[in-house]
Amino acid sequence: MAAMAMAMAGMMNGERAVVLLFITRVLFSLPFSLISHGVALSLLALSALSLDILADSSTSLSQFSTRPGASSGILLGAVTLPAVFISKMIQLSRAVSLHQAAIEELESLTMQYWAASASCLCVLIFLCITIRRSSENMPPPSRSIWHAKFSLSCIVLHTAVCCVTLGFDTALKLLWMLCHGLAAVKLIQHVLRTFPSCASIGEACLVTSGLVLYFGDMLAYTIEKVSGFFMKSEVVQYGSKRSEISIIIQEMKFIVSGLAGKPTVFYFMQGLLLGLLLFPMAFKFVLRMWEFSLSTACSEVRTNNEIWRSIIFFSSLGFIMIVIIPSWMQLVQDFHMHPLVLSFIFSEPLKRLSLCAYWICVIFVSVLRFYNISKNSKIERILLRKYYHLMAVSMFVPALIFQPEFLDLSFGAALAVFLALEIIRVWRISPLGQSVDKFMNAFTDHRDSDLLIVSHFSLLLGCALPIWISSGYNDRPLAPFSGILSLGIGDTMASVVGYKYGVLRWSKTGKKTIEGTAAGITSVLAACSVLLPLLASTGYILTEHWCSLLLAVTVSGMLEAYTAQLDNAFIPLIFYSLLCL
C-alpha cells in the first residue's frame, strides 16, 4: 500500500492536484438531488486522470501533433465544461428550492450537463481506442495496461449512471447524447489534424465540446421550428399525447450562453456567430468550384487569381451575413424584418453611444501605443500582452456594472469581428490579410503559431463566457466578473510581479514563481473587496461568503501557477464554477 501511495504521489503533478481539489470542492457542494450527476462527474474525472497520466508518461498519443511545451491536459479539458454546468445546476437548484426559478429550467440545464459530459466521455473513449491501436505493434508496459483498463471501467460506469439517471425508456435522450459525443470525436480529430501544434489535447477537448453544444442548441431550435410544420401545435405543446421528440426539443431550449429571456437582438448575435463559424467551409467549397472552372480557362485569367479570390471571399461573406443568417433567424425566431441591432442600441442612446465612444478611444489609444512599444522596445512580450488584460478591465468593468445587456451584445460583435479577421489573416485575403498578420504577430508568444493565433480569442471568451453563462438567475454577484478578475487582474499581477521580483519557483522546470502567485491571489481579493461594496450600491444583493471566495481565488491562482495549458481558456471557467457554489 505504501509503495502504491508513493507511485500515485509521483504521478500527481501540480496541475492534476489542483484540478482534483476543484472537483472535490464541487462534489462536496452537491445537494442530494444531484448525487447521480456528481457520481458521473467523479467517474469522468477518474477516467480522464488515468488517461492523462498515461499520455504524459508514454508515446501512445504521439501521433497527434499538439502544441509544443504543453502537457496533454486531458484531465483539465475533460472535466472543465461538465463542472461548469454542474455548478450552475447547484446554483439553480437553490433558486428552485426558493421558488425563484422553474423546475423546467433545471431539467433543461441537466440535459445540457449530460450533453457536455457525453461529449467529453466519447473523446476519452476515442483516446482509449487510439492508445490501444498504437500499442498493438509493441507490448505496452503493465502500468499502461492498468491505466487503460481502469479508464475504460470508469467510462462504462459513467455510461451506466447516465442511462439510469436519464431513464432507459427515454431512448431519444440517449440518442441525443450519443450524437453530441460522436460529433465531438469527429470535430476533435478535425481540429488536431487541421491545426497541428496549435493546441493540446485538453484544449482541443474543451473547444470541441463547447462548439458541439453550441451547434446542438442551434439545431434544437431548428428542429423545433421545422417539426411545427409537420405536427399540430397542440400536440407539440400540450397534453399527454405530445411526442418524445418534442420533449427533447423543449428540454434543449435552454441556451448555454444564457440567451433565454433576452431581446431578439441576442438571438441575432447567436445566428451571426453561427454563420461565421460555418463560413470557412462554405468559402472553401466555393473557392474549389471556382478554381476547377479556371483549370480550363486561359492563363491571363489566372494572373488575377488574388483579386478574384478576394472578391469571392467578401461576396460569400456578405451573402451569408445579409441573406442566409437573416433568413434562418426569420425561420427559427419568427422575425418579420431584417434583425438589425440598431433599435437595441438606440433604445438608450446616451448611455450606450457614450459607452461606444469610450471603448473606441480606449482601443485606439491603447492599441496604437502598445503596437509602437512592441516595435521599438525590448519589453518582454508576456508583459506587453498583459497591458491588454488591463485594457479589458478598464473597458468591461464599468459596462458590466451599468450596461450588462449591452456588454453581452458587444462581446458577440467583437467575437464576430475577431473571427472574420482571423479568417482573413489565415487565408491572406487581400488587401487586409498581410496587414492583419503583421499586426497580430507583434503580440504572439509560444502558445500561438503562424497557422492559428488564439490569444485574443481566449482573452475575449475568457471575459465573456462567465457573463453569458450568468444570464438569468444569479445569486452570486461576483460570478459574472470571473473572467475579468482572474485574467485582467490576477493573471496580470502574477505575471508582472513574478517576472520582475520572482525568485522562488514552484518547480525546477517551470517559470511560475511563488511571489507572482501570491501577488495574483492578493490582487484579486483586493479587487473583490472594492467591487462588492460598489455592487451593493447599485442594488445587487450580496450573497458571497468570504471563505468560499478565498478558496475560489486560491484554487484558480494555483491552477494558473501549475498549468501548462492556455490559462485564458480554463481559469475563468474554473473560477466561475467555484464562485457559483
User: Is 563 part of a structural domain of the chain?
Assistant: no
The pLDDT score that the predictor gives to residue 178 is 84
Q: What are phi and psi of 513, to 5 degrees?
A: -115, 155
**Domain assignment present for 155:** yes
Mean pLDDT confidence for 186-197: 86
Q: What pLDDT is recorded for position 576?
A: 94
d(C-alpha 437, C-alpha 477), whole Å:
39
Higher per-residue pLDDT: 70 or 377: 70
* Contact yes or no for 151/44 (Cβ under 8 A): no
pLDDT of 340 strictly over 70: no
Please give the distance of CA 99 from its chain centroid, rounded to a whole number.
30
* pLDDT of the residue at 380: 66
Q: Is 43 domain-assigned? A: yes
Q: Is the pLDDT confidence value at 574 over 80?
A: yes
Segment 76-101, tens digit of pLDDT: 999 999 999 999 999 999 888 888 88
**Has residue 2 got a pLDDT over 50?**
no
Q: Mean pLDDT across the chain, nearest whole number?
A: 76
Cβ proximity of 471 and 258 under 8 Å: yes
The CA distance from 320 to 316, in Å, is: 6
| More confidently predicted of 457 and 5 | 457
pLDDT band at 256 (very low <50, low <70, confident <90, very high): very low
Average pLDDT, integer, range 458-476: 84
| pLDDT-based confidence at residue 243 (cuts at 50, 70, 90) | very low
Residue 266 φ then ψ, to 5°: -75, -35
- For residue 270, the number of C-alpha atoms closer than 13 Å in the C-beta half-sphere is 26
DSSP class per residue in 264-304: HHHHHHHHHHHHHHHHHHHHHHHHHHHHHHHTTS-HHHHTT
Task: Output the CA angle 485-101-78, nearest 5 degrees.
Answer: 50
Q: What is the mean pLDDT of residues 146-171?
A: 70
- Determine, yes or no, domain membership for 504: no
pLDDT at 279 over 90: no
Decide which of 288 and 106 is more confident: 106
Domain enclosing residue 145, as ranges: 13-232+241-259
Residue 261, number of CB atoms within 10 A of its CB: 9
Residue among 432, 459, 427 nearest 443 (CA)? 459
pLDDT at 555: 93
Tell me the C-alpha distance between 169 and 148, whole Å.
Answer: 31
Q: Residue 497 and residue 492: Cα distance in Å, rounded?
A: 9
Cell readout for 153 is 471501467
Instruction: Tell me how crowded residue 547 is: count the other CB atoms within 10 A of its CB.
Output: 8
**What pLDDT is stored for residue 573 in this prediction?**
93
- Cβ distance 498 to 510 under 8 Å? no
Instruction: Please provide residue 505's backbone torsions phi and psi, each rounded to the nearest 5 degrees.
Output: -95, 150
- Residue 78's pLDDT is 93
Q: What is the pTM of this model?
A: 0.86
pLDDT of residue 237: 39
Grid coordinates of 156: 462504462
Residue/partner pairs of 114-117 with CB below 8 Å, 24 or more apart: 114/162, 114/165, 114/166, 114/173, 114/177, 115/176, 115/177, 115/180, 115/212, 115/213, 115/216, 116/81, 116/82, 116/85, 116/180, 116/209, 116/213, 117/40, 117/41, 117/44, 117/82, 117/158, 117/162
Domain count, the chain: 1
Q: Where do we find the cell 489609444?
A: 365
